[in-house]
Amino acid sequence: MPGPIVLLRRRVPAPVWLLLPAALVLVPLFGYPMYQLGLLSVLDFGQPQASGGVPATLAGLANYTQLLGDRQFWDVLLQTLVFAGGCVLATLAVGGALAVLLTRAGRRSRLFLMFAALGAWAAPAMTGSTVWMFLLDTNSGLVNEILGTTGHNWMYDKWPAFVIVGAVVVWHSFPFVMITLYAGIQAIPVSVLEAAKLDGASAFATARLVLLPMLRPLLVIVVIQSVIWDFKVFTQIYVMTTGGGIAGQNLVLNVYAYQQAFASSDYSLGAAIGVLMTLILLAVTALYIRALRRSGEEL
Amino acid sequence: MKPNRLANSLVVAAGLVTVFPLYWMVLSALKPDGELTSADPRPWTWAPTLDNFRDALGVSGFGRYFLNSLLVAVVVVLLSAGVAFLAAVALTRFRFRFRTTVLVMFLVAQMVPIEALTIPLFFLVRDLGTVAPGLGLSSLGSLMLVNLAFSLPFAIWMLRGFVAAVPESLEEAARLDGASRFTVLWRIVFPLVAPGLAATSVFSFITSWNDFVFAKTLILDTDHQTLPAALLVFFKPDENDWGGIMAASTLMTLPVLLFFVLVQRHLVSGLGGAVKD
């Protein structure tokens, strides 16, 4: 449809001017560091090079081969996948179940959970971590007080520590899933549900054959958004396990890359981990974009 | 549908579990020191006191960190609102080559693990500091720049929907009446997008306010630290001052909570529309 907007375009390339400020910020502060991250990962860049005394030399793929040949990298990769996967599943289970329950609850209980969830959602990752650390503190924590296990350190063993950090991540992230899915369910026309009822469908059949297919695009978005968030968890792990746990037993890729760079001063190895992580996330993003397209959202 | 008793109690129980850590945080911040470490923790206190807040703000210098955080966040919000508004107009009102590419890049930018990007950013900011000390390491300026860059992609992405919702006929009418393009943007589109801009700004505020990794990496002195990274300083190997930590955590959570309640209606806007009809 040839409207006035088309005429505007022909005269001046306005989008260029409008996008210029964004480009001025994003190219040097986002694009350039991305390029530098890739560059660092193929250099030999440690503390001597960072201080400026020694010129950086090209290392080729040495950082990557070192990484792929390192037992710890595979351990960290595996536990990142298990940790993120567990968080995603738990977040979806809790968020999804509560979204359904919300539709069955009275108005006041619904508002109560909504506002409680809003609080957990809003709480900064940092304060969420400190509060839960206090609750689980070895000597003065409420949990130990109630269980009568004063002196027990919950973060001492690898998997209990992961489960606790995971619980905090779920506490932070289930509200998004719950509120989004609840809004989605509410957006389904009542007439559809009534039609299913008239046709004699049971509650279970209605959920499986009517609700689920209609919510599918939303579910895909929620799943992938959760995958991306939980794969990138940093603050909770870094703070609650003080930098990755005893002997690095609670490291995830993100914290591992950061520690390699800033604690061990092996900047190029940290960058290589960052590049691998970015590649994994890009693959997930590609799925996300496809899902967005399918759900009919116009880019 | 009639409320279901079981669903009702489950929802209330879930709400209690969810809100409890926040309640405990505020309660512990208000408890006097003796009660906090007593062997018999009670979920209430008869002697609420602001001592912990006074200590955190005065003795531990949290007032300063609070102001630093606020200053960074406010600058980020103002700049990001302006820049994102212009970019969102470009991406919704014009069809041009590479438009989809630009959009996909904004989406991809939200997925990048920013913790890994702090490695090159650390060196970038360090080198920038030799030219412009106000933007180098340990400066609030560096945090403003970096947080601006990392809040923009989402702000632009979110604002697109709000700009698209403004009827184009309004702009056309103004153009026909002889208004310049700038006037149309400033006098017509901007006021209509303002509510959306407010919602978007809340997210920019939160990104910057909650930022832990940039502050921890780029700020090397205590004077210019912001809240999240400064909170880490409270932790002592043997005996933590939990009252102080909880008071500081409360101070840090309150502004975000307030903003969230203000924009809660917009939190899922656009997503709910993804349900198929």
Q: Is the ipTM of this complex over 0.95?
A: no
DSSP A208: I
Q: Say if the Cβ atoms of A13 and B96 lie within 8 Å.
A: yes
Q: How many domains does chain A have?
A: 1
Chain A touched by B276 (CB under 8 Å):
yes
What's the CATH number where A142 sits?
A: 1.10.3720.10
A94 assigned to some structural domain? yes
CB pairs under 8 A between A and B: 315
The nearest alpha carbon in chain B to A149 belongs to B39
Is residue A97 very low, low, confident or very high in pLDDT (cuts 50, 70, 90)?
A: very high
Q: Which residues of B touch A270 (CB under 8 A)?
A: 116, 119
pLDDT, tens digit (0-9, with 9 covering 90-100), for B39-59: 677 787 888 888 889 888 887
Question: Are B143 and B75 contacting, i.e. CB atoms less than 8 angstroms apart?
Answer: no
Retrieve residue B227's tokens.
């809240």
| Count of other CB atoms within 10 angstroms of residue A46 | 17
Residue A46 lies in a domain: no
- Whether A63 is in a domain gets the answer no
Q: Cβ distance A140 to B266 under 8 Å?
A: no
Joined together, the tokens standing for residue B269 give 């806007």
Give chain B positions within 8 Å (CB) of A234: 115, 212-213
Tokens representing A218? 């939303």
Shortest Cα distance from B100 to chain A (angstroms)?
A: 7
A5-24, pLDDT tens digit by residue? 544 444 556 788 899 999 99
A167 closest CA partner among A228, A87, A94 = A87
| Closest Cβ opposite residue A257 in set B116, B227, B232 | B116
Q: Amino acid identity, residue B269?
A: S
pLDDT at B267: 60
Q: Is residue A13 part of a domain?
A: no
- pLDDT tens, position by position, A23-66: 999 999 999 999 999 999 999 888 888 887 788 888 889 999 99
Token pair of B204, please?
């920019």
Measured between beta carbons, which residues in chain B are less than 8 angstroms from residue A261? Answer: 118-119
| Residue A150 domain-assigned (yes or no) | yes
Q: For A242-290, what is each residue's pLDDT tens digit?
A: 888 888 899 999 999 999 999 999 999 999 999 999 999 888 888 878 8
Cα gap A230→A241, rounded to integer Å: 16
* Residue A180 sits at the chain B interface (C-beta within 8 Å): yes
A24 domain residue, yes or no: no
Q: Is residue A261 part of a domain?
A: yes
What is the residue range of A127's domain? 71-298
Mean pLDDT taken over chain B: 86
Cβ pair A131:B24 closer than 8 A = yes
Chain A (15-44) residues lying within 8 Å, Cβ to Cβ, of chain B: 15, 18-19, 21-22, 25-26, 29-30, 32-34, 36-37, 40
The reply to whether residue A105 touches residue B252, judged by beta carbons under 8 angstroms, is no
Lowest-confidence range among A5-19, A102-116, B65-79?
Answer: A5-19
- pLDDT (0 to 100) of residue A277: 93
Q: Which tokens belong to B130?
A: 């030799």
A289 CB burial (10 A radius; 0-12, 13-18, 19+): middle
Residue A47 lies in a domain: no
Contact A274, A37 (CB under 8 A): yes
